[in-house]
Chains A and B, each alone.
Chain A
Amino acid sequence: MKDVYIVGAALHPVGRHYGKNIDDMAAEVLEKAIGDAGVDVDAVLVASSTAELAERQQLLGSYILESLGLNKTPAFRVENGDGSGGAAISMAYGLLKSEEYNCVAVVGVDKPNDVLSNQQQDIYAAVVDTYFERYFGVTPLSQAALMAKMYLKKYEYRYEDLAQWALLMHNNGVGNPYAYLRRQVKLEDAVNSELVSEPLRLYDIGPLADGAAAAVLCNNRKDGPRLLSVSASTNSTPFNAREDYDVLYSLRDASQLAFKKAKITPRDIATAEVHDSFSILGVLAVEGLGMAQKGGALAAVKDGALPVNLSGGLKSRGNVLGATGVYQLVEVAWQLLGREFKRVDGSYGVIHSMGGVDRFSTVAVVAL
């Protein structure tokens, strides 16, 4: 089977983009990525979590291609909540491995700022079980908070230890020209920020933001970083019936398979982008990828040596929902190349894209 390479990419700055429609933003990055690759694409995969909910738009792919004057190219919409980006990458990889297509573009887009902030909570909460969780007021935030509370108790950390995650993310985000919140923060800012679902505070949440990212993947060109493996897993156990609350099962299963297929170990990772929609999930993702032992991620963060979320993660780059996974893929590719980011020391990068609180994960291994 042919190998898959990332031959072109583009990112839209993350932020509040009141002046652009969802299809405009997606078309903008898609056009740039195709131009960057210098190829024609055979198919387009569109990752979006909230197009129907925030924009009341379906058939997004057709409207994105209309903006570019492209006709007849098949466009497919992929929705797996905030893990849509990773899901679309997984689908694109499969299409290219099967050689059904030679060049496929993946474009991720979401515009949560087109609705009011408390409506954003309703929309984001659509990733939890509508009938048995959302109906009673349960949200992803409250689930992450329960996991954080149990994790801090079990491994005897204080809240101040968890707040280090936000500090690291902001520190990293300063170097990302596409990040939403590009500033350093102090521990006291995080510790004194508004309590949102105890023990989690405002600084433990990746702010929802508008964004679009695109990558062109080909199996007939060898320029650019190579996608060594992509694996995905669903965790269908309901939150109330989870065995452990300090393990991301969907990530664990996807990463074991992805590492095995790529023939690398966690020690080979030079850069990882993980889905820290809430700080605790980033912490658990670091452990799930094997970059720290169980209960050891916060200690490792404090040591400052973890090459995780050099983009700033969802905390600083912003949580661009279904577009996040595509951002992560481009960020890792560019970190390996030293393009628009500082070049990382090593040849392997990993992305972890997740839908909901451990409901679905994609893990992709990228090599230079």
Chain B
Amino acid sequence: MKHESVPIYWRNIPQYYRLVAKRCKKCGATYFPPVVRCRCGSLELENVELPREGKLVEFTVLYQVGTDFLKQKPLIIGIVELANGVRVTGQIIDAQPNKLTPGTKVETVFRRVVVDGKHGLVMYGYKFRPVE
């Protein structure tokens, strides 16, 4: 993939670095990725940082990857349910697939996601790793 736009990365930093979601002040629904309008109709949403602990809902080991991830394959892609019930899709790292099952406890960590050699861009974000 070509990474020609620094602003795209820069404006997502609050989400990529700290898992910042939007919570509806009226009904309490929490959205990740963030939204501008709640399904209840309310436009009053506030930023809220998601908990770092959660459990795995399900995962797959992905062998056919895009050009950014050729050196990192296979990727483990999982759905994680955080402690407050909000779910996030992302990479599961530092894990052996045969030891992962739904329910495995995980925590959010901060890692390098993409290194674009051509433009010297190193981009970071959240990933999840199992905790003992």
User: Which residues of A come within 8 Å of B, CB atoms?
Assistant: 118-119, 121-122, 125, 129-139, 141-142, 145-146, 149-150, 194-200, 238-241, 245
Contact = CB atoms under 8 A, between A and B. Distances in A.
Interface in B43-89: 58-70, 72, 75, 77, 79, 86-89
B58 A149 contact: yes
Interface residues of B, number: 37
Contacts of B127: 136
Contacts of A245: 58
A322 B97 CA distance: 35
A138 B113 contact: no
Nearest to A199: B60
Contact of A141 (B31, B64, B67, B86): B64
B33 A137 contact: no
B125 A145 contact: no
Contacts, number: 105
6 contacts: A118-B70, A132-B15, A142-B75, A196-B63, A197-B62, A199-B60
Contact of A136 (B32, B60, B67, B89): B89
Contacts of B42: none
Contact of B33 (A125, A139, A142, A238): A238
Contacts of B91: 136-137
Contact of B60 (A133, A146, A194): A146
B122 interface: no
Contacts of B60: 142, 145-146, 149, 197-200
A150 B58 contact: yes
Contact of A139 (B58, B66, B114): B66
Contacts of A132: 15, 32-33, 89
Interface of B: 1, 8, 12, 15-16, 31-33, 58-70, 72, 75, 77, 79, 86-91, 97, 113-114, 123, 125, 127
Nearest to B11: A131
A119 B31 CA distance: 31
B66 A135 contact: no
A239 B72 CA distance: 23
A146 B59 contact: yes
A122 B89 contact: no
B125 A137 contact: no
B125 A135 contact: yes
Contact of B66 (A122, A199, A240): A122
B87 A145 contact: no
Contacts of A196: 62-64
Contacts of B16: 135
Given A137-B75, A146-B77, A198 B65 contact: no
A137 B69 contact: yes
A162 to B, nearest CB: 14
A133 B16 CA distance: 11
Contacts of A145: 60, 62, 77
A135 B113 contact: yes
A132 B89 CA distance: 8
B58 A136 contact: no
Nearest to A118: B67
A138 B89 CA distance: 8
Top 3 nearest A-B pairs by Cβ distance? A145-B60, A240-B89, A142-B77
Nearest to A125: B66
B53 to A, nearest CB: 17
